[in-house]
Chain A
Amino acid sequence: MTSAAPAPILQSSHLLGIEGLSASEITGLLDLAEEYVKLNRAADKKAATLRGRTQINLFFENSTRTQSSFELAGKRLGADVLNMAVKNSSVAKGETLLDTAATLNAMRPDLLIVRHQDSGAVELLSRKVDCCVVNAGDGSHEHPTQALLDALTIRRRGRKFEGLVVAICGDIAHSRVARSNIHLLSRMGARVRLIAPRTLLPADADRFGCEIFTDMREGLKGVDIVMMLRLQLERMTSALVPSTREYFHFYGLDREKLNLAKPGALVMHPGPMNRGVEIDSDVADDLEVSVIQEQVENGVAIRMAVLDALSRNLAKAGRNT
């Protein structure tokens, strides 16, 4: 350990979710990410923070953009990055997962980035490996780096979390993005509203300290931030909403509904968007209100901050074991 070792930011050696993070941990990550936004805009984007470290991206569920974002983040920090495409095996998933974990662990990675279609799978895997694990999205549970990049985007637009009114709209029930954002925004002092038809609201949603609205027009009144969620087309086949045209009519963000929000309200979307289903192109492409592209940019920076912060804990523990 060198005497110049940077201060630790995270308590845990994994980032499995936002729930459990303190406000100072979140702020620490956002502060660090601000530095990486600057680095990413420089001509020389390379840092040596993770030199010698190995990062494996293990995606059981396809996600080009999240995987690319993590890959870029690791490479810019100087890590060796390996993408493992895992074919989703329908047989004995639990056993396969743990076998995979044991195999990977034997390769002695330092950072393992995992996405899995089942809630809790990333945590299960984290118990079986010796490296740092980052949850890149598990089922309908959490997607912590998405919430962090959303927070960074809000903060970089000069908004204060305390008292900020944020509406999260759409398929809350199946959304890990919504859950992570609810935890983060509430922890930072923002007021969260959930807007969805009852078929897309999770049970006891009101127990999370959020205000619930089934009428989007009511829910959008006076909000500072409108976060749209992607409506998976399988929600239609499973009869949770009757049709995309009805969904767009009542829950799609168009100019008329957006005008009910506070003047200057920002529109966010984790992507990829279903235009004409949950969001109108007129709004999505309006750079005055839409910060969707900034979210993507900030995503790389926040992931660099997370990898950096976790690697500090590796150093602290005197790893490798």
Chain B
Amino acid sequence: MTKRLAFRNARLIDPATGLDTRGGLLIENGKIADLGAKLFNTADPHDPEVIDCKGLVLAPGLIDMRVFTGEPGSEHRETLASASEAAAAGGVTTIVTMPNTDPVIDEAALVDFIKRRAAATAKVRVAPMAALTHALEGERMTEIGLLREAGAVAFTDGDRSVPNTRVLRRALAYAATHGALVAGHAEDPDLSNGASMTEGEFATRLGLPGAPPAAETIIVERDLRLVELTGARYHFSQISCRASLEAIIAAKARGLPVTCGVSAHHLTMNELDVGSYLTFRKVSPPLRSEADRAAMVEGVAEGHIDVIVSSHDPQAADTKRLPFAAAAYGAVGLETLLPAALTVVHNGHASLIDVMKTVTSTPAQILGLEGGKLAKGLPADLVLFDPEEPFIVDADKLHSRARNTAFEGRKFQGRARMTFVGGECVFDRGKEKMH
């Protein structure tokens, strides 16, 4: 029997086509069967199960291109299952996982493991990236062709740059052979070695070792040259300063196949947010100056920054409750990706549809995934949200196994009400237990 679920009275937003209209949407057997302005305008006793959206936004579920989990190897921090709980609560229907696990995802069998564990335990879709070099050591490229056939959506050393330019050149040339996407972390390992924040007045006051934003831009500029040389498709996982953005804008103007992302943290916080040594705000790359943060917002508004990511990186107390310099980098972010991205809308820098594009259709396009849009026949991965709903981030109410949010106590507007993956409701805030 056909399983049907209808949405009426929704504000349909489809960034891929520019659709922004009042209307309805029909799910049949997990797929989008129909949508449009006139659909279910009037309630009909013959309608299937109906959700009255009351004017809330119904959009493609979010695709988060940068998610660290602890599975396999550090399940006490996060499993694929717990990360998927957080994702569902954040309106994220596809998480792109980083290979920085133990063991590192650098073999086809391990990609297969992630996919099977995800299918068995996760509520949302999991699209694994595989390592670009063996054990993330930056010395030998991985079996990019076989890993791709196993289902790796892209290749990255996660939170590390490949230090050896020759190795990276070869890996990029080889990736280009297979049409594979390479995602790079831009941070010069020598310049940033030992640094816990951005070099400058504030770091000096705190007495913390810093690294200049140039540590990022140097790698961005180097990698752009290698892209030019090899023709590889390259995505900068996250950039954080104006100089990097300008280099990428110039490269795009030259026609290079490059894209870039920014994390929710670098879009909404600056170095001063480190405050009195708040280790939950120690991220990699470190929070930048206000001028650089503003440049990131501008980059999103003007479409030069292609995607916004959470850089979700669960850390347990043992790695965070330490003096700042000794604490681990990273913060969870799956549940705050949508609210953080919406700040760009609420502050009047960009339209809702343009911001939604950076977390739906553009990541899908970069990764070659079929989702990220509202179109007939596609899997019904959807998020229903009120873009205006005010709330305060409360770490205790997060769904992720680790609670190291950088946004504790932060006031945001807009968060997921319901999330659907393949037509199934995987999150309903109305049915959440009261804390």
Contacts and interface: CB of A to CB of B under 8 A. Distances in A.
Contacts of B171: 239
Interface stretch (A48-56, A137-145, A240-248): A240-248
Contacts of A199: 170, 173-174, 177
A239 to B, nearest CB: 5
B221 interface: no
Contacts, number: 42
* Most A Cβ at <10 Å: residue of B144, B146, B171, B174: B174
Interface in A215-260: 239-243, 245-246, 249-250
A285 to B, nearest CB: 26
Interface in B306-337: none
Contacts of B145: 242, 246, 249-250
A245 B142 CA distance: 12
A239 B177 contact: no
B177 A198 contact: yes
B176 interface: yes
Contacts of A239: 139-141, 167, 170-171
A240 B174 CA distance: 8
A242 B141 contact: yes
B230 interface: yes
A109 interface: no
Secondary structure type dominating chain B contacts: helix
Interface in A237-291: 239-243, 245-246, 249-250
Contact of A246 (B143, B167, B176, B231): B143
A276 to B, nearest CB: 15
A242 B173 CA distance: 12
A245 B140 contact: no
Contacts of B174: 197-199, 240-242
Contacts of B170: 199, 239-240
Interface residues on A, range: 10 to 19
Contacts of A67: none
A214 B173 CA distance: 11
Given A197-B174, A199-B177, A214-B177, A242 B167 contact: no
Interface in B161-179: 167, 170-171, 173-174, 176-178
Given A198-B230, A199-B170, A242 B143 contact: yes
Nearest to B169: A199
B143 A245 contact: yes
A293 to B, nearest CB: 32
A119 B362 CA distance: 49
A249 B147 CA distance: 12
Nearest to B173: A198
Interface of A: 197-199, 214, 239-243, 245-246, 249-250
Interface of B: 139-146, 167, 170-171, 173-174, 176-178, 230-231
17 contacts: A197-B173, A197-B174, A197-B177, A198-B177, A198-B231, A199-B174, A239-B141, A239-B167, A239-B170, A242-B140, A242-B144, A242-B145, A243-B143, A246-B143, A249-B145, A249-B146, A250-B178
Given A197-B174, A242-B143, 6 more contacts: A198-B174, A199-B174, A199-B177, A239-B140, A241-B174, A242-B141
3 tightest Cβ-Cβ pairs between the two chains A and B: A198-B173, A197-B177, A246-B143
